[in-house]
Structure 1
Amino acid sequence: MARRRVGAGKRRRFLTIGICAAVVAAGAVVTPQAFAGTTGGSAASAGGGSFFERLRARFNQGGAGNGGNAGGGNAGGQNGAGCSDVELVFARGTGEPQGLGILGRPLAQALADELPNQTVGSFAVVYAAASNQQSAGPGATNMTQHIQQVAQSCPETQFVIGGYSQGATVTDIAIGIRGVGTQGQAIPANLRDKVAAVVVFGNPLGIRRQTIARAAPEFADRAVEFCATGDPVCGGGNNFAAHLSYARNGDVPEGAEFAAGKIGG
């Protein structure tokens, strides 16, 4: 399926707010799990017969779980005991069980493959990913607080942050974009330089005819947004299947390559 990478200076088509609202409603139908809340970074939600379980099987992403919060990756590293050189902090999409999700897990692996001489860890943002979209703010707060905690104990760690669908909104709020969802805590100014790259897929920011480059210029040169052709959530299409195409259309390895290119050292 054709895809588009969204960057500064590129124009995109958008649906009206009414159509986009209908798409969100459709998303709630195909992803019926509206998690009331999650506790613990690696807790998995039930729902083995859910839409996303079947989707993972289709994409051969495999596994009963959906990825947790763990360090690891490659050997080496100069950042002290228990600290990764690079950490991916990723927020899954609406309705997915707690974990890195169908895009975060392959993105973590692809990023590790791109950085063979550095240790690469990952953290799955802990948030409800509820179908009413109201959990994005609390998710941003969790993302921010995790970065603060790691930065305090691992001052040399560089972060790659991102998300898919509602998880992209989590990321938008965390980098200080206002009015895109429920309120949440943004990454403080003194830690923003530690965010080496931002990688998002199917970002609902497009509903507002915006991009990260325009809404958060501070991150313009280190952010990449992927919007599949026809995706109604981010780019003016009417094909909801396009919003589910990112795990197989090549955008994940491209996002990892982009992020790796922003890592210093």
Structure 2
Amino acid sequence: MRDMILTGPSTGRCTRASTTTTFPEHTMLSALARIALGAAALVATTAGAVPATAAPASSCSDLDVVFARATYDIPYVGVAGAWHLAAVRSALRGVTISSYGVRYPALVNPSGTGLGADDLVRHLRSTATACPGTKFVLGGYSQGATVVSIALGVRTRLGAGATVPTSLRSRIVAVTTFGNPIGGAGQSIGTSSPVYAERTREFCTPADVVCRGLVVSPGLGHTGYFYNGDFERAGRFVAGRYNRA
């Protein structure tokens, strides 16, 4: 599995991950590497002023957005997480929103996904105890989406880790994932973890080989979320779920 990671829109730089064939159904074709720099440039020119990272709130918030970054992405919520967080804040004016970046290795070898699930659940437990009124949104991009899936009880060959305790399920108002590798094996959070089905939105562009397991050239599929409006759609979905909670 390979993730093409874009840095903050203001820099226009990108980091390109190396290729691995650890899981054949999730192998990215060489075409993705050839288009990585072009995709970064496109995103940089269309992004606007979205912050690359976001600092967590120091006090209890109404809503805590927990996001797991993709492979080799910058620390904390990563680039996709920053875009997602900005979209959620734009859709929920007047709501105090904090954020947390799941801590895990985020390397090419996805063995660290279980560690990410452990950290995610540990954060939920501690925050829920300290802030009884805070609700949560869980999100992840690429390998980070697998971290979220594991935490929600999805059994996958991509890792195993802690799961959200039953007592905290009602505190999770929405789940959003982008380019989730479990899709390449025909899985989804909605079907594998039905308790979260209605509050989950799983984004997968038509040409994304990571979440669709395609064996054709992916084009900009795995990076399409940065310019196709999916982050904004995710923000509106979260807002709708929060307002109904």
TM-score, structure 2 length as denominator? Answer: 0.80
Secondary structure of 1:228's partner? coil
Unaligned regions of 5+ residues in structure 2, if any?
A: 1-21
Aligned runs of 1:7-156 on 2, under 5 Å? 20-23=25-28, 57=44, 60=47, 66-71=52-57, 82-156=59-133
- Identity in percent: 34
Matched AA of 2:70: G
2:39–2:220 contact (8 Å) kept in structure 1: no
Q: CA deviation at 1:51?
A: 10
Q: CA deviation at 1:211?
A: 1.6
CA distance in 2: counterparts of 1:113 and 1:97, whole angstroms: 23
Secondary structure of 1:134's partner? helix
- Return 216-225 or 93-102, whichever deviates more: 93-102
Between 1 and 2, higher relative CO (CA 8 Å, sep ≥ 6) is seen in 1
- TM-aligned CA distance change 1:166 to 1:190, over 3 Å: same
- TM-aligned CA distance change 1:90 to 1:55, over 3 Å: farther
Secondary structure of 1:225's partner? strand
Q: What's 2:141 paired with? A: 164
Q: What's 1:10 paired with? A: none
Matched AA of 1:130: L
Q: What's 1:43 paired with? A: none
1:127–1:142 contact (8 Å) kept in structure 2: yes
CA distance in 2: counterparts of 1:60 and 1:148, whole angstroms: 34
1:56–1:62 contact (8 Å) kept in structure 2: no
Q: CA deviation at 1:59?
A: 5.1
Structure 1 runs, 4 residues or longer, greater than 6 Å off:
24-27, 50-56
CA distance in 1: counterparts of 2:104 and 2:29, whole angstroms: 18
2:185–2:213 contact (8 Å) kept in structure 1: no
1:24–1:233 contact (8 Å) kept in structure 2: no
2:113–2:143 contact (8 Å) kept in structure 1: yes
Q: CA deviation at 1:71?
A: 2.1
